[in-house]
């Protein structure tokens, strides 16, 4: 086994969950001789390594039989792990269970136990249709065709005709699902391509995609799986085009369909979690915070704490100025971060902590948390967040009057903006303002600068580059400076004006 192949064995072993590891051990104990013992030893040794190190294995176990034939043992071990998957408890892997029954039907057919075979086929069909495993049913139909052709001649042709009709129907159902999968792929390719950067182009692309004949009405979707994709696309399209009422309507319908047919649509918890999470995001965008909190409660009852959901809940309380409730969610911040250090929402979670301290006027604490992101080596998070971290470094330095830092921060941000083509965005507006404001006396001209900044920020809310205001309402921050009040005071006043959902307890 080559070095590359050895790495694959290491990756495979490390990917196994607790149940799969136990199953492999049980599966391999059935082998004869020392094979199981050798495989168990090598499995445990590799499993205990942080990085694959073959030299240390040979050095530490020079007299073991598996080391003398290490290349062969590794190949056999790799293949044995793959084989053990088919013996794994397939209660949660319905396809695997049905495949075993198809194999059993073929064995019965080969033994010419035709009645037994037909009975097995009938059972498989009943289960497979119930869970819409249409591709698998095509294999069942082909076994049944062989069974019919083995029967009495006078009934062969009528039965075959029925079977061919069933096969054609299955092909149409599969084609229908695949059509929706293809449209769905086109939809999300366009959303990722244009995003918020070119909304006009995105709207035109999505209009063309959603004009597909299969998207006109849900009745065009011939199965539960196809209907779920239909609803998912409408929900995603509405969210991308900021037609949130449309989006929430279809996302709710998708959730209802999913929960009505869990045996088809909830094969893994992640699918259900994703729809609940999407619904929370839409309600948040609509500022329907009570509805969002209700879905969050449903999510947490079913699945426990989740970093993305936890962060959204914090964003809701911050948007409402409910700082006591917000702080209660920050109590275990360090523990939550430790548990989710590699989570995709790790950065957003820290971001919401930064803006909360900034909003309260605790600029030193905001700076400490912002430095965690500023000093990270990787820049794998999104461009908006990349700019957000550097923008907040600049705003915090401005509030702390650390003018010696402002020059480098503003210069760094300007360089990044120039790489983007000098796009007029939230970041560029604030860089220009701070470069002038740090030398400006607190006179009428200073407050006029603030009013101009607020006006320009408000115009940018729905434009490319305005998405950073989803992390922190910079317009409210500027207004608080104009009114000489705290951020929270102005926020609560604005919420009352707009009748923002008060989150009735």
pLDDT per residue rounded down to tens, the chain (505 residues): 565 666 778 888 888 877 778 777 776 665 544 555 677 788 888 888 888 888 888 888 887 877 777 888 888 888 888 777 655 544 445 677 788 889 888 988 888 888 888 989 999 999 999 999 999 999 999 999 999 988 754 567 788 999 999 999 999 999 999 999 999 999 999 988 886 667 889 899 999 999 999 999 999 999 999 999 999 999 999 999 889 999 999 999 999 999 999 889 887 788 898 899 999 989 988 889 999 999 999 998 888 877 888 888 888 888 888 888 888 888 777 777 777 665 567 777 888 888 888 888 899 999 999 998 887 765 555 656 677 788 888 899 989 988 888 878 887 777 777 665 444 577 788 888 888 888 778 888 889 999 998 888 888 765 544 455 566 788 888 999 899 888 888 888 887 776 666 654 4
Helices (H), 48-152: 54-60, 65-68, 70-86, 94-110, 114-130, 134-149
Q: How many Å apart are CA 298 and CA 283, to the nearest integer?
A: 14
Q: Between vectors from CA 208 to CA 206 and to CA 214, what angle results, nearest 5°?
A: 100
Radius of gyration of the chain (CA): 30
Q: Which single residue is written with the structure tokens 């989803």? A: 470
Residue among 333, 378, 377, 328 at smallest CA distance from 351:
333
Q: How many Å apart are CA 363 and CA 365, to the nearest integer?
A: 5
Whether the CB-CB separation of 296 and 312 falls below 8 Å is answered with yes
Whether the CB-CB separation of 381 and 465 falls below 8 Å is answered with no
Exposed / middle / buried, residue 175 (Cβ in 10 Å: 0-12, 13-18, 19+): exposed
What single DSSP character describes residue 462? T
The whole-model pTM stands at 0.69
Q: Between vectors from CA 362 to CA 325 and to CA 375, what angle results, nearest 5°?
A: 105
Contacts of residue 10, Cβ cutoff 8 Å, sequence gap at least 6: 46, 49, 51, 52
pLDDT of the residue at 36: 54
Long-range contacts of 436-440 (CB under 8 A, 24+ apart): 437/398, 438/398, 438/403, 438/406
Whether the CB-CB separation of 330 and 314 falls below 8 Å is answered with yes
Q: How many Å apart are CA 274 and CA 280, to the nearest integer?
A: 10
Q: Which single residue is written with the structure tokens 């603030």? A: 450
Residue 95 has a CB neighbour count (10 Å cut-off) of 14
pLDDT of the residue at 382: 60
pLDDT of the residue at 460: 74
The domain limits of the chain are 3-86, 94-186
pLDDT of the residue at 350: 85
pLDDT of the residue at 283: 92
Exposed / middle / buried, residue 338 (Cβ in 10 Å: 0-12, 13-18, 19+): exposed
Q: How many Å apart are CA 128 and CA 499, to the nearest integer?
A: 51
Whether the CB-CB separation of 141 and 170 falls below 8 Å is answered with yes
pLDDT of the residue at 471: 64
Helices (H), 195-243: 199-210, 224-240
And the tokens for 498? Answer: 């707009």
Distance of CA 420 to the CA centre of its chain: 27
Helices (H), 241-378: 244-260, 262-265, 269-286, 289-303, 307-320, 323-330, 333-339, 346-360, 363-374
């Amino acid at each position: 086994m080559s070095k590359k192949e050895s790495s694959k064995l290491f990756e495979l072993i490390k990917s196994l969950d607790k149940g799969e590891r136990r199953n492999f051990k049980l599966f391999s104990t059935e082998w004869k001789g020392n094979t199981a013992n050798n495989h168990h030893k090598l499995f445990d040794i590799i499993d205990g390594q942080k990085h694959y190190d073959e030299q240390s294995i040979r050095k530490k176990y020079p007299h073991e039989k598996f080391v003398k034939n290490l290349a062969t043992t590794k190949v056999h071990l790799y293949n044995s792990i793959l084989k053990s998957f088919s013996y794994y408890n397939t209660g949660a892997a319905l396809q695997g269970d049905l495949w075993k029954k198809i194999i059993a039907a073929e064995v019965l057919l080969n033994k010419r136990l035709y009645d037994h075979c037909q009975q097995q086929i009938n059972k498989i069909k009943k289960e497979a249709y119930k869970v819409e495993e249409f591709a698998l049913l095509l294999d069942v139909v082909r076994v049944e065709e062989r069974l019919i052709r083995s029967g009495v001649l006078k009934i062969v042709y009528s039965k075959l005709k029925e079977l061919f009709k069933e096969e054609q129907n299955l092909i149409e159902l599969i084609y229908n699902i695949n059509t929706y999968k293809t449209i769905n792929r086109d939809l999300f390719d366009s959303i990722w391509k244009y995003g918020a950067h070119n909304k006009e182009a995105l709207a035109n692309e999505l209009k063309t995609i959603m004009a597909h004949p299969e998207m006109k009405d849900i009745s065009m979707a011939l199965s539960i799986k196809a209907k779920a994709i239909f609803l998912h696309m409408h929900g995603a399209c509405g969210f991308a085009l900021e037609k949130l009422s449309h989006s929430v309507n279809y996302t709710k319908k998708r959730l209802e369909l999913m929960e009505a047919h869990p045996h088809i649509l909830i094969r893994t918890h992640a699918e259900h979690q994703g729809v609940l999470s999407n619904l929370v995001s839409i309600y948040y965008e609509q500022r329907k915070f009570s509805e969002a909190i209700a879905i969050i409660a449903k999510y947490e009852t079913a699945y426990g704490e989740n970093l993305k959901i936890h962060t959204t809940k914090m964003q809701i309380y911050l948007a409402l100025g409910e700082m006591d409730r917000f702080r209660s969610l920050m109590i275990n911040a360090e523990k939550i971060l430790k548990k989710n250090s590699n989570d995709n929402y790790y950065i957003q979670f820290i971001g919401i902590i930064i803006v909360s301290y900034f909003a309260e006027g605790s600029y030193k604490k905001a700076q400490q948390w912002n430095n965690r992101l500023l000093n990270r080596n990787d820049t794998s998070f999104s461009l908006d967040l990349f700019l957000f971290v550097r923008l907040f470094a600049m705003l915090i330095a401005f509030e702390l009057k650390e003018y010696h830092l402002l020059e480098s921060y503003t210069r760094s941000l300007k360089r990044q903006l120039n790489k983007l083509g000098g796009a007029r965005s939230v970041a560029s507006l604030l860089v220009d303002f701070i470069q002038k404001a740090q030398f400006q006396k607190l006179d009428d001209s200073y407050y006029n600068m603030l009013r101009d900044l607020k006006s320009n920020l408000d115009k940018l809310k729905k434009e490319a580059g305005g998405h950073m205001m989803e992390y922190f309402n910079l317009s409210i921050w500027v207004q608080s400076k104009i009114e000489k009040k705290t951020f929270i005071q102005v926020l609560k006043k604005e919420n009352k004006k707009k009748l923002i959902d008060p989150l009735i307890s």
